[in-house]
Amino acid sequence: CVILGVRAACQDATVTQELLKEGFHRDLLVKVELGVAGEDAGGCAVAARTRLPPGIYVDPYELASLQQHNLTKAVLIPDVIDVEAPEYLATDLLVLLYMEPDPRCSHCFKAALPVHGRYHRPAEESEEALVVLKSPEVLVCCCDNRLSAGCWKPAEVEAPCSGKTDGSCQWYSVTHKPVYEELILQVPVGLRQHISLVCVMTFLATVLCSTLILATVCKYGHFS
């Protein structure tokens, strides 16, 4: 588990989240600052549980690669994700993101998660669709079970305290105050009035490429 070298319990935690980079491929940066008063929480892990709406997703293959290099620790629910599905055919995704201590602050934690925007239906006027990310829930898991439930409420989470160990343990939900209640992701979308033009150009490009491939095969191919 991540060790908390502070006393943190009944005071509210402060949560901030930020989207880095531009376009469809972003990094979701989550920061948690715990209160410094209350009972001893040494030997506990900290995680952020966030629900991603259908307009955004995490690539499980990319996440697995990052976890192999100890760059990110997270649990996806469900763990099977259709990365090709458009926004209107996708469902919500629940992510448990394990936090790492921030060396610049003794009671602060942070973690980054690569996220990707899904394709949306063409719009009538706006060239951008808005995807709303709610503030995540802060969770604490204590391996030695020394934490009382007086200030933190038990949370229904089927996940280990550590991203590497097997078996579930008891997580507790921490009261927190988000710096921003929600975060807005702007995803580029096409316009409905361009559908005919896009279809025609796609058809012409397909015919041209198919013709070039067929001509190359006829010229250089060897037929018995």
Query: Which residue intervals of the chain are DSSP H helices?
Result: 60-68, 195-220
CA pair distance 63, 75, nearest whole angstrom? 9
Distance CA 211, CA 190 (A): 28
pTM here?
Answer: 0.75
- pLDDT at residue 37 in the model: 44
Query: Taking Cα atoms as reference points, which of 197, 202, 176, 194 lies closest to residue 15?
Result: 176
E-strand stretches of 118-188: 128-134, 137-142, 153-155, 171-174, 176-178, 182-188
- Residue 51 has a pLDDT of 92
pLDDT value of position 215 = 86
pLDDT in 10s for each residue of the chain, 224 residues: 443 433 344 567 788 899 998 888 999 999 988 765 434 445 678 899 999 999 999 999 999 999 888 888 998 888 889 999 999 999 999 999 999 888 888 778 899 999 999 988 877 777 788 889 998 988 888 765 555 555 677 777 777 776 555 667 778 888 777 777 788 888 877 666 667 777 888 888 998 999 999 888 887 766 65
pLDDT at site 194: 66
- Which residue bears the tokens 């980054």? 112
